[in-house]
């Protein structure tokens, strides 16, 4: 059974940093591209970032480019998202998501339950 378990969320002050993790199991992690998608309270889904299966290619939404870094450790079956220079606009539930085999980065088949990041003083 595919499982994606996010952690690392919490309350952080404006300008602060946070690193989110997503522990994957139930599939060959290193064979699949992965993404992060976020959802601000009461708002819709927003694609944030994606990474290729090897980690050699990374992609970011314009809204987070330069402040967020996606990475992965295929030996540990873990996906990461480093969040820097955080503002209130980054307050959201952050979901880890697995890409299907084939298709595009928009083609997700499994989602984690999410971890909440709250940026507030």
What is the binding site for another protein (CB under 8 A)? 35, 37, 44-47, 50, 57-59, 61, 95, 100, 102-114
What is the DSSP pairing of strand 18-25 with strand 78-83? antiparallel
Helix (H, G, I), strand (E, B), or coil: what is residue 22? strand
Q: What is the DSSP letter of 74?
A: T
CB of 116 to another protein, least distance (A): 11
CB of 76 to another protein, least distance (A): 23
Task: Please say which residue, 18 or 51, places its beta carbon nearer to another protein.
Answer: 51
Task: Please say which residue, 63 or 87, places its beta carbon nearer to another protein.
Answer: 63
Residue positions counted in the chain:
121
Task: Please say which residue, 45 or 88, places its beta carbon nearer to another protein.
Answer: 45
What is the DSSP pairing of strand 108-111 with strand 92-99? antiparallel
Instruction: In whole angstroms, give the CA distance from residue 50 to residue 61.
Output: 9
CB of 97 to another protein, least distance (A): 8
């Amino acid at each position: 059974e595919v499982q994606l378990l996010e952690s690392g969320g919490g309350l952080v002050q404006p300008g602060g940093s946070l690193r989110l993790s997503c522990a994957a199991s139930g599939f060959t992690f290193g064979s699949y591209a992965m993404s992060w998608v976020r959802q601000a309270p009461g708002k819709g889904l927003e694609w944030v970032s994606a990474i290729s299966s090897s980690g050699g290619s990374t992609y970011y939404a314009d809204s987070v480019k330069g402040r967020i870094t996606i990475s992965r450790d295929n030996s540990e079956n873990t996906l990461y998202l480093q969040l820097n220079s955080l503002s209130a606009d980054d307050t959201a539930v952050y979901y880890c998501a697995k890409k299907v085999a084939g298709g595009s980065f928009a083609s997700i088949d499994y989602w984690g339950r999410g971890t909440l990041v709250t940026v507030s003083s």
